[in-house]
Amino acid sequence: MALLQALAHRLGGEGLNLGRRCVGVEERASGVELQFADGASATADVVVGADGVHSVLRPHVAGDVRGRFSGTVGYRGLVAVEDMPSLPDPTPLQFWAGPGRHLLHYAIDGGRTINFLAVVRVPEWSNEAWMEECAVSDAVDAFAGWHPAVSEMVGATDVGARWALHDLKPLGRWHTERVVLTGDAAHTMVPHQGQGANQTIEDAIVLADCLADAHAADDLTPALRSYEQRRRKRTVAVQWLSRRTADLMHLPDGPEVARRDAQFAELYSDLAWIHSHDAHAQQPGRSAAAGVVHGRA
C-alpha cells in the first residue's frame, strides 16, 4: 500500500484511475484499446500488464498458460510477540526447517508483531481457488512436535486459511508489438526467496530504460524485445531457486541435511547474485543459481 501511495503521489493524480477492472484488450497497428468492466475504454501506445498471477492480459500475449502447483501450501498469520513466550529472538528474519515443511517469520510494527509463513508439502491441490479456509488446528497439527515457539505462532491466529503456492513455467514470450508483461503476470514464482515484488520492480526499471531508448511510439517492438532479453534469464533463475529452496528446506533427516547446513556460512555470498543486482546494468544477472536460503532447525 505504501508503494502504491508513493506512486500515486508522484503522478499527482494525473491519469490515475482506481477501481476499474480490465476485462479485455484489442491491439491495432496504431495503438491498444483496453476494455473495462464498467463499459469504459482507454487507448495507449503501449500497455503494461502488471496484473499479477491471474493476469487478464497474459492470454493475449502468451496464450492460455495456467499456474503450476508447487506441491506446497502456505499458512500465513500475524501474531503479537507477547503471545509467543517461547520464541528465542523475535527480531531477525528466521527460518525453521524440517522434513516436509518449514516456517519463516520476521518482526513488523516496530518489533511488536510477527509476520509468519508456514509451508507444508502436500501431494495435490484440487480446489480451483488458490485459497481455502481451514481450521487453525490444521497448521498446529502439521507442526506437531516442533519447537514450542512454532506451535505458539501457528496456533495464535484467529482465522485459519491456507494458500496453494503456484508458479509459472517460463513463458514462450512476454510481449506483442504493443502489450508487454511484467512481474507475476510474466514470471510468477513461489515465495521461498521473497523475490516476487523485487523482481517486479527490477522489471519496471529495465522496461522504463528500454522504452526511454525507443526511437518512436510507432515502433516499440525493439524496446519490448530488449526488455524481455535483459530480464528472461535472470527471472528464470530466480524462479528455479525459489522452488528449489523448498526442496532443500524439506529434506528428510539424513546426511543431506548436514551438507545443506554446512552451506550456512556461505549464505550471503551464495545469494549475492540476487541481492546485489543492478537492474540498470545492460547485462542480465547470473543465470545459474548456486545458493539457497537456509533456516534454523
- Show the cell assigned to 267: 549464505
- Show the cell assigned to 38: 464498467
Helix or strand run (H / E) with residue 111: none
Alpha helices (H) in 81-130, listed in sequence order = none
- Show the cell assigned to 259: 551438507
Please choose, from the candidates 273, 209, 276, the residue with its C-alpha nearest in 3D space to the C-alpha of residue 237. 273
| 106 belongs to the catalytic site | yes
Query: Using an 8 Å Cβ cutoff, are 71 and 112 in contact?
Result: no
Q: How many residues does the chain have?
A: 297
Cβ atoms < 10 Å from Cβ of 166: 18
Strand partners, 103: 96, 118
Strand partners, 114: 79, 107
- From the candidates 75, 106, 227, 268, which is the catalytic residue? 106
- What is the set of active-site residues? 106
